[in-house]
């Protein structure tokens, strides 16, 4: 049996003020259609091009929760919490600022804003300020997430 070598940081390695940046991800029509099917949210602003053309946006927009999910995936892909996250605990003060259109590329900028040891869980909570931005640096959404992270094993 092979041992998995994670890339994630242990609780003790997170420091207030640290900043991390994800890779980008372009939002596709397929993403929106797949998310509508998965979530059951077929709101016309997301799925009906003619309807959406008559809205202030002028075209279909991605579901806010789709982009939130993609942001979570981008953070996971960065390796920051890979193999060390115990649980996703909270979303705090989440704001949807600007729409995301088909063809927009988003990335995530994070800053560690707090840590709290939770010894009974074998780790601690880490509060992360999240800013999801488009290719033109417009903020799409922002807020903070609290995640539970394991402590460094004593043998390391």
Q: Which residue has the tokens 């596709």?
A: 28
What's the predicted TM-score (pTM) here?
0.91
Task: Compute φ and ψ for 8, nearest 5 degrees.
Answer: -70, 155
**Which secondary-structure segment (H or E) carries 114?**
strand 105-118
Identify the structural domains of the chain with CATH numbers, from first to last: 11-150 (3.10.129.10)
Q: Average pLDDT for residues 44-62, to the nearest whole number?
A: 97
Strands 105-118 and 123-134, how do they pair? antiparallel
Q: Average pLDDT for residues 86-91, to the nearest whole number?
A: 95
5 falls in which pLDDT band (50, 70, 90)? low
């Amino acid at each position: 049996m092979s041992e998995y070598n994670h890339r994630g940081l242990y609780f003790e390695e997170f420091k207030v003020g640290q900043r991390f940046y994800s890779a980008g991800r372009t939002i596709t029509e397929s993403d929106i259609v797949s998310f509508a099917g998965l979530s059951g949210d077929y709101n016309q602003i997301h799925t009906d091009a003619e309807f959406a053309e008559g809205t202030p946006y002028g075209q279909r927009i991605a579901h806010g929760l789709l982009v939130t999910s993609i942001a979570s995936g981008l953070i996971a892909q960065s390796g920051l919490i890979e193999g060390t996250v115990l649980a996703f605990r909270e979303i705090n003060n989440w704001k949807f600022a600007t729409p995301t259109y088909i063809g927009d590329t988003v990335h995530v900028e994070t800053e560690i804003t707090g840590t709290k040891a939770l010894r009974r869980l074998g780790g601690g909570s880490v509060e992360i300020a999240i800013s999801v931005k488009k290719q033109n640096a417009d903020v799409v959404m922002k807020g903070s997430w609290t995640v539970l992270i394991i402590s460094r094993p004593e043998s390391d």
